[in-house]
């Protein structure tokens, strides 16, 4: 018999843990998996995460720069044919990995369940393709516009000056990339049962809450979200703002008795915390045992659950 966890955080590889859950059990998924930059050249497992944490924390820092894959060989170097081929192979490996957990997620989701997956602007298309291959239907790409972005890449004027080239000033302002101020959130859905009304009546899924709180219709661009100070004990690499996760839960997860939200990459538990604030049951999965203590500490510190609604009287 399959497990039916509720308000629990499970430890392990989500590809294996989700096999223990029953079919048509989950109402929605909001998750922030490792991006392909982190995946490059490594199997994303506990030992790799611990290695990175130790490397960064040893220098007194609390975060890992996500977009520079330490030790991957792809953060720099000569952009020759071998480099591009390795990059392509890595991307395909990442897409395959997304399909593997997406296949299990599809099985446990109810018809009409909405799935939201954070990813980088460069690899979100591969995430969408992988999850479509697993059975989901692509609905949208949300734009999470951050308050700032750090320019990365090559400032060619500085490079020319350093190497002693003449007239480097003519290349002033030219750079190898743009400043990235947004993250993509891929929105997918498990196919409906015939139509929205039937799916809603049977499963309580399929629809989005579209009142934006300002008298308008909810946009697919999320901006103006403040990032609060992270708790001192929270050493997770990439904590999303709780205000952002609240907004996503509000839009995509009805506050119903039978609603269950899953986060297969729970991290420090921000998705679960947002679900708890709305009185929505949750299942978290996290591969790093050390993060479980952080999650539980954050969940235990919250009080004041909002009321839930019956599906239909």
Four-way CATH pick for 7-146+181-301: 3.40.50.720, 3.40.50.460, 3.40.50.150, 3.40.718.10: 3.40.50.150
Distance CA 6, CA 276 (A): 11
Distance CA 271, CA 32 (A): 9
Residues 217-252: pLDDT tens digits? 999 999 998 766 655 444 444 578 999 999 999 999
pLDDT at 308 over 60: no
Residues 85-115: pLDDT tens digits? 988 988 999 999 999 999 999 999 999 999 9
Q: What pLDDT does residue 226 have?
A: 75
Task: Give SS3 for 188.
Answer: strand
Select, from the ranges 56-60, 76-80, 182-186, 232-236, the one with the highest average predicted confidence (pLDDT): 182-186
Mean pLDDT across the stretch 134-157?
89
Distance CA 293, CA 290 (A): 6
Estimate to the nearest angstrom the gap between the alpha carbon of 286 and the chain centroid: 13
Q: What pLDDT does residue 115 have?
A: 99
Residues 73-90: pLDDT tens digits? 445 568 899 989 988 988
Q: What pLDDT does residue 302 have?
A: 72
pTM of the model: 0.85
Given pLDDT bands bounded at 50, 70 and 90, which one contains residue 20? very high
Buried b (16+ CB within 10 A) or exposed e, 34-72: bbbbbbbbbeeeeebbeebbeebeeeeeeebeeeebeeb
Encoding tokens for residue 55? 């490397």
pLDDT at 52 over 60: no
């Amino acid at each position: 018999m399959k497990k039916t966890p509720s308000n629990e955080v499970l430890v392990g590889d989500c590809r294996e843990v989700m096999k223990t859950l029953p079919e048509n059990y989950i109402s929605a998924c909001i998750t922030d998996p490792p991006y392909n930059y982190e995946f490059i050249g490594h199997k994303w497992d506990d030992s790799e995460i611990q290695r990175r944490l130790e490397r960064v924390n040893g220098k007194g820092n609390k975060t890992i720069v996500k977009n520079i894959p330490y030790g991957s060989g792809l953060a720099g170097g000569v952009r020759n044919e071998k480099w591009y081929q390795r990059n392509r192979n890595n991307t395909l490996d990442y897409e395959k990995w997304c399909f593997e957990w997406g296949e299990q997620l599809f099985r446990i989701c109810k018809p009409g369940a909405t799935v939201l997956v954070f990813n980088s602007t460069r690899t979100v298309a591969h995430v969408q393709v992988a999850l479509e291959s697993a059975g989901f239907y692509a609905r949208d790409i949300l734009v999470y516009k951050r308050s700032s972005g750090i320019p990365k890449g090559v400032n060619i004027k500085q490079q020319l000056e350093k190497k002693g080239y003449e007239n480097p000033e003519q290349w002033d302002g030219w750079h190898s990339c743009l400043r990235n101020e947004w993250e993509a959130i891929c929105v997918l859905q498990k196919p409906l049962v015939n139509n929205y009304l039937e799916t809603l009546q049977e499963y309580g899924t399929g629809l989005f809450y579209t009142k934006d709180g300002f008298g308008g219709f909810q946009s697919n661009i999320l901006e103006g979200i403040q990032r609060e100070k992270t708790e001192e004990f929270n050493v997770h690499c990439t904590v999303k703002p709780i205000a952002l996760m609240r907004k996503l839960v509000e839009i995509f997860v009805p506050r119903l008795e039978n609603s269950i939200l899953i986060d297969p990459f729970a991290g420090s538990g921000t998705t679960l915390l947002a679900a708890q604030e709305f009185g929505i049951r949750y299942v978290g999965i996290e591969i790093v045992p050390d993060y479980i203590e952080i999650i539980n500490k954050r969940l235990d510190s919250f009080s004041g659950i909002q009321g839930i609604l019956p599906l239909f009287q």
